[in-house]
Amino acid sequence: MKNIIIFAFTLLAMAPAKIDAQEINWANLPKDHRNLLNINAGFEYGLTFGARYGYQLKTKIPAILVADFSIPSGNNLTDDFKTKIGGYFRVLEVNNFQVSAKVMGVFRRYENLSARLLNFGSDMGVAAGYYQPKWFVSAETGFDKAIVTHFKHSELSKQNFPSIKDGWYEPATGGNFYYGLQTGFSLKRNDIYLKLGKVLTQDFSTSPLAPYYLQVGYNIWL
């Protein structure tokens, strides 16, 4: 059983984990436009593409509900994908210094020659930095946690691990810490941003196949 748990954890650590942060210029939130559209591309275990929809709530504390979808590039685009639903919230504002948080529920699919994984998890993070109406720069940190994962193993895996079983694995799930920097420029209802950083597995003793991430994206308020 110990070998099975290690095997399952290793598979999950290898799965592509698109890093999303609060790429929002909190000093340039429009009052007359509530709908946010985003497209992005980056490198995380390979080339990834994503799209996002957000809705700005009419609340005292600025808050944006978010739905996100991303896929890695590859021969079969339906093999792997990641979806998120949650929200971004500005929690502190002192002059031009602002702190925001995100809370997201995650569902992702990952498949390779060893297994097909369906995973439910969470992604929580904090960003803090300096925001002006036309530009911003901030630091981000967060934790992408795989809470429960369903494994459907290939025949090859079952030959190598005869005792391995298909089904839900709760103790075998893992997660990634990430931290980095992001900056962006704003013009009226448009934002262009760039972010880069590093990823660490939750045990702090192993690194993902590609320990760095990079993303460029575009926001427009409608």
Q: How far apart are CA 18 and CA 127, in angstroms?
A: 17
Give the three-state DSSP class for 68.
strand
Q: What CATH number labels 2-221?
A: 2.40.160.20
Q: How far apart are CA 74 and CA 67, in angstroms?
A: 23
Structure pTM? 0.87
pLDDT tens, residue order, the chain (222 aa): 444 444 444 444 444 445 666 799 999 999 899 999 999 999 877 789 999 999 999 999 999 999 999 998 766 666 789 999 999 999 999 999 999 999 999 999 988 888 898 999 999 999 999 999 999 999 999 999 888 889 899 988 888 888 888 988 775 567 889 999 999 999 999 999 999 999 988 887 777 777 899 999 999 999
Domain residue limits, the chain: 2-221
Let me know if 99 is exposed, middle or buried by CB neighbors in 10 A (0-12, 13-18, 19+). Answer: middle
Instruction: Write down the H helix ranges in the chain.
Output: 2-14, 155-160
